[in-house]
């Protein structure tokens, strides 16, 4: 989820807080167990299995795999999205894993291990698709999106450039409490269209009878990252090395296929966009 609280670096997400110390690969200051705090409401990245209540998703599995490479274990904790950045700042958590967009503003607070590309899209109900022959048809319409994310500002920017600049009415942004609420507003007719990551739509269609259709191309493309403390470069390098190893042996690609995220693959593990 591309969140302004993510901007404040808040996941739909996962924070890893170290519990007991242990020397891993001879390094000091590493731990045996990491507490991973998440907001499990953003499939296919992190969410609860409706049948079992178990935490599942791509982010969950990639973090478990990274931890196994480092030689540590993960203890997952449900958290408030708004508290994720402050958890890192106050050392209650060490890494945020939430499908979070890596932005320059957020780098002022945390560093990022880049692990996926994120494509933000407008979408609507398939039954309403004929109302949107092109993206310009969004002008003047009500578009729902999570209010604590980067999306409201991004929608307004797109609207300024494509609607008001052309003398058309601006998009009306409807703030929601997250992606489930966004879809609820759309399904109940309170919104004409909505914005989420393109990566989430195939999963929702798989459980809701192919209900949604993406409108046009992504209007915002960014890298997603695992956030960690700016002064914890040693830990960041461990994350990067572990992810690089998963990419080299094919484990990363296998997880992408499992969660239908092939279009989101990143070319190499990077920190703040740098190899």
Give tens-digit pLDDT for 77-135: 777 777 887 777 888 877 787 878 898 988 999 999 999 999 999 999 999 999 999 99
Taken as a whole, the chain contains a residue count of 275
* pLDDT per position as a tens digit, 223-234: 999 989 899 899
pLDDT at residue 42 greater than cutoff 60: yes
> Which one has a higher pLDDT value, 10 or 53?
53
Kindly compute the dihedral angle of the four CA atoms of residues 79, 47, 120, 128, in this order, to the nearest 10 degrees: -130
Distance of alpha carbon 90 from alpha carbon 60, whole angstroms: 23
- Is residue 192 a contact partner of residue 131, using CB atoms and an 8 Å limit? yes
Placement of tokens 């058309």 in the chain: 168
Segment 252-256 mean pLDDT: 98
Q: Say what the pLDDT of residue 20 is.
A: 36
Q: Say what the pLDDT of residue 30 is.
A: 60
- Is residue 127 a contact partner of residue 158, using CB atoms and an 8 Å limit? no
* pLDDT per position as a tens digit, 17-32: 333 333 333 333 567 9
Distance of alpha carbon 223 from alpha carbon 119, whole angstroms: 9
Domains observed in the chain: 4-118+222-265 (3.40.190.10), 119-220 (3.40.190.10)
Percentage of the residues of the chain whose pLDDT score is greater than 70: 89
Q: Is the pTM for the entire model greater than 0.85?
A: no
Least confident range of 79-93, 167-181, 247-261: 79-93
Task: Decide: helix, strand or coil at residue 188.
Answer: coil
Q: Say what the pLDDT of residue 173 is.
A: 98
Least confident range of 146-150, 162-166, 210-214: 146-150
Q: Say what the pLDDT of residue 53 is.
A: 93
Distance of alpha carbon 265 from alpha carbon 262, whole angstroms: 6
Which backbone phi and psi does 241 adopt, to 5 degrees? -65, -40
Segment 72-80 mean pLDDT: 83
Segment 135-157 mean pLDDT: 95
Burial bucket for residue 62 (CB in 10 Å: 0-12, 13-18, 19+): buried
């Amino acid at each position: 989820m591309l969140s302004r609280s993510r901007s404040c670096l808040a996941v739909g997400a996962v924070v890893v807080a170290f519990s007991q110390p242990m020397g891993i690969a001879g390094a000091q200051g590493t731990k045996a167990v990491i507490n991973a705090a998440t907001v499990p409401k953003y499939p296919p990245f992190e969410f609860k299995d409706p049948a079992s209540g178990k935490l599942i998703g791509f982010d969950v599995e990639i973090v478990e795999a990274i931890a196994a490479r480092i030689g540590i274990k993960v203890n997952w904790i449900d958290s408030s999205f708004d508290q994720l950045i402050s958890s890192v700042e106050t050392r209650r958590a060490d890494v945020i894993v939430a499908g979070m967009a890596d932005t320059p503003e957020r780098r002022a607070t945390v560093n990022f291990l880049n692990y996926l590309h994120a494509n933000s899209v407008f979408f609507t109900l398939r039954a309403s698709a004929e109302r949107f022959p092109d993206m310009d048809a969004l002008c003047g319409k009500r578009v729902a999106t999570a209010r604590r994310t980067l999306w409201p500002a991004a929608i307004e920017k797109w609207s300024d450039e494509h609607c008001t600049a052309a003398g058309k009415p601006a998009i009306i942004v409807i703030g929601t409490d997250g992606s489930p609420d966004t879809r609820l507003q759309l399904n109940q007719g309170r919104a004409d269209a909505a914005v989420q990551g393109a990566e989430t739509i195939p999963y929702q269609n798989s459980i809701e009878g192919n209900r949604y259709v993406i409108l046009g191309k992504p209007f915002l493309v960014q890298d997603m990252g695992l956030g960690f403390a700016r002064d914890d470069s040693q830990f960041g390098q461990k994350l990067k090395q572990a992810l690089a190893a998963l990419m080299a042996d094919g484990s990363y690609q296998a997880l992408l296929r499992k969660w239908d995220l092939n279009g989101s693959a990143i070319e190499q593990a990077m920190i703040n966009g740098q190899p």
